[in-house]
Amino acid sequence: MRLAIAAGDYQLVVAPERGGSILSFTWRGEPVMREAEGLGILDVGCFLMVPFANRIAGGRFDWNGRAMAIPPNFGGEDAYNPIHGYGWLTGWDVLQSGEDWLELGHERHGGEWPWPYRAAVEYVLEADGLTARLSLTNTGEEPMPAGLGFHPYFPRTDATRYIGLHRGEWRGEGNPLPVTLDERDTPFDWWEGRPVSTRVVDTVYSGRQGPLEIIWPERAMAVTITPSANLSRTAVYAPQGSDWFCVEPVSHLTDALNGRDPGAPMPALAPGETLSAEMRLSVRPL
């Protein structure tokens, strides 16, 4: 199933059965996100990360005095660490829809991730852009770790620039888990105005100030990404030689469950409590 909505110059196509992911997001017919090509979840334009973002090292952590062991959930991408939660790997139900908005949901009742939860996402198109709102509700009887994130892929050429002001850049020393933090006194553009292709990164940035921006000079357009305040970290994946890259607003650092980021530990969601976050994208001509 594919669901299409539109408003003004924007069009959005979503696949509920593929993790509620975005297949296409365009402005005046121009792709803002990477257009989906294959049939796998890693081929989409954007997927959702719930109930945690990025990786948990070895799937092992302590929670409320219990030693937890969560098996890898996507061996083709990472055979050792659980990654990106469970929402991206399951079908979502269509809860409501209209010409310019839709709401999807999915529930998990325990299993490898022992805490039951309910998740929902709302996509709303308006004349000035897209708002994606993601929520997570603890439907169990004990506190659960809780994290949210969006994983969009953006088209990239040799001229594409990304501007995101952050105080810190985490370094993984050859692996995708953060090890050391390079932190500045004030928020900083880690590309210093140069194209995305001038750096190869797979890391997380902390201490975000303001929105994020991607500029395509040869296409005479730019997109501003405005995450909610609780998506204070930004994961960036820019592999060498690729025609896409990822800028991912997330609520916590990779492997936050193991205390890698003392300044922002993984929050606990009480029974019945809901965590919500949103990402807004607005395109402008240059």
Q: What is the pLDDT of residue 6?
A: 98
> Per-residue pLDDT averaged across 188-205, rounded?
96
- Going by DSSP bridges, is the β-strand pair 233-238/244-250 parallel, antiparallel, or unpaired? antiparallel
Model confidence band, residue 1 (pLDDT cutoffs 50, 70, 90)? confident
Q: What is the token pair recorded at 265? A: 């530990």
Would you say the pTM of this structure is higher than 0.85? yes
User: Residue 23 maps to which CATH number?
Assistant: 2.70.98.10
Q: Does the pLDDT value for residue 170 go beyond 90?
A: yes
Type and span of the H or E element at 54: none
Query: 19: closest CA among 56, 51, 49, 55?
Result: 49
- Residue 209 has a CB neighbour count (10 Å cut-off) of 12
Q: What span, in angstroms and rounded, lies between the C-alpha atoms of 142 and 104?
A: 25
Q: What is the token pair recorded at 24? A: 């296409």
Do 49 and 88 meet the contact criterion of CB atoms below 8 Å apart? Answer: yes
Report pLDDT digits (tens) over 69-118: 999 999 888 889 999 999 999 999 999 999 999 999 999 999 999 999 99
Planar angle of CA 99, 103, 106, nearest 5 degrees: 150
Q: Does the pLDDT value for residue 173 go beyond 80?
A: no
- Residue 41 has a CB neighbour count (10 Å cut-off) of 19
Percent of the chain scored above 70 by pLDDT?
100
Domain encompassing residue 128: 3-285
Residues sharing a CB contact under 8 Å with residue 251, sequence separation 6 or more, in sequence order = 53, 147, 148, 149, 230, 231, 232, 233, 267, 275, 277
Planar angle of CA 102, 103, 107, nearest 5 degrees: 155
> Per-residue pLDDT averaged across 242-253, rounded?
97
Planar angle of CA 191, 196, 197, nearest 5 degrees: 120
> Per-residue pLDDT averaged across 183-204, rounded?
96
More confident residue, 262 or 255: 255
Report pLDDT digits (tens) over 26-49: 999 999 999 998 899 999 999 999
User: Taking the mean position of all CA atoms in its chain, how far away is CA 230?
Assistant: 13
Q: What is the pLDDT of residue 266?
A: 87
Query: 88: closest CA among 132, 136, 151?
Result: 151
The structural domain count of the chain equals 1
Q: What is the pLDDT of residue 75?
A: 86
Mean pLDDT value across the chain: 95
Q: What is the pLDDT of residue 199?
A: 96
Q: What is the token pair recorded at 257? A: 């469950």
